[in-house]
Structure 1
Amino acid sequence: MNLAEIPIFSMLRSRLGYLTERQKVIAQNIANSDTVRYVGQDLKPFSFDAKVQMHQAQSQSAGVMAVTQPGHMSPKNEKRPGQVKPLKSPDSETTLNGNSVVLEDEMIKMSDARMDYDTAISFYQKSMNMLRMAARPPGRG
């Protein structure tokens, strides 16, 4: 059985992908903190409810064409899993050159994303340990 077919691992994979993309967006904001008229970006908050609804919709549309290989074209308006779109998120302060990135806020966002990532990795590792324990033959420690 593929781990991606187990719902908890699928959700963790989505969460880790989201956090990776968020860290990239935050790093881009920090890199452009001196760029004239640069407006900081961020991602919409990750929602487990939205992921569960998307998973249920995918399982209900079993007879519909699906993208099974990375090179396949997807139908119009279909959002591929793991695809995230950065949103403009102007911070509270804008400098005279029009830049709205506040480094302190970005560092707080980065540390939050890092803690969330570490938590998801820990949960993933504990879930893997439970599967390993369940797969052991009886009587082995």
Structure 2
Amino acid sequence: MGVANLPLLSQIKGRLTWLDERQRVVAQNVANADTPGYVARDLKAPTDFAAALRDGGGLQMRQTTRGHMPIGGPNGTPVARFTSQASPDSETTLDGNAVVVEEQMLKMAESRMAYDAAIGLYTKSMALLRLAAKSPGR
């Protein structure tokens, strides 16, 4: 098993992927803040363990036997697990636009803080792995 396949690191990678996708959705909302009839979108995060298992929540499936069903799209390539859904903000303007830039900026800041926390956890995990891999007395 390689270092990249460790469960903790793959969970952190999944979280970073979700945060990256959320930032993209929030940026799209801000870009359409003046578009008539546009409704803000957001990603739904898994809220409990059962939902995470049901939706795939960072767990990687593998086809261990040829008789198993293929994974993902064509040629076994993984497909994106995240889908954005309409999530109107607290106000809707007369032209039907439901994007409040201030609320989108808060979502962006939340995502940035969570991203920084995940990167910090990744960095600490890698430091611990390096420490464990050192030979004694070095």
- What interval of TM-score do these two structures reach, taking the shorter chain for normalisation? 0.7 to 0.9
TM-score by length of 1: 0.81
The Cα of 1:66 is off from its aligned counterpart by 3.6
Contact 1:90 1:100 in 2 (8 A): yes
1:135–1:73 CA distance, 2 compared to 1 (3 A): closer
Partner residue of 1:17? 17
Alignment of 1:1-141 (within 5 A): 1-47=1-47, 49=49, 50-51=51-52, 54=56, 55=59, 58=61, 62-63=64-65, 64-67=68-71, 72=75, 80=78, 82-140=80-138
The Cα of 1:45 is off from its aligned counterpart by 1.5
Structure 2 unmatched runs, 5+ = none
Structure 1: 4+ residue segments shifted above 6 A: none
1:136–1:130 CA distance, 2 compared to 1 (3 A): same
User: What CA distance in whole angstroms lies between the structure 1 residues aligned with 2:130 and 2:110?
Assistant: 30
Aligned-CA RMSD value: 2.5
User: What CA distance in whole angstroms lies between the structure 1 residues aligned with 2:47 and 2:17?
Assistant: 13
Contact 2:70 2:76 in 1 (8 A): no
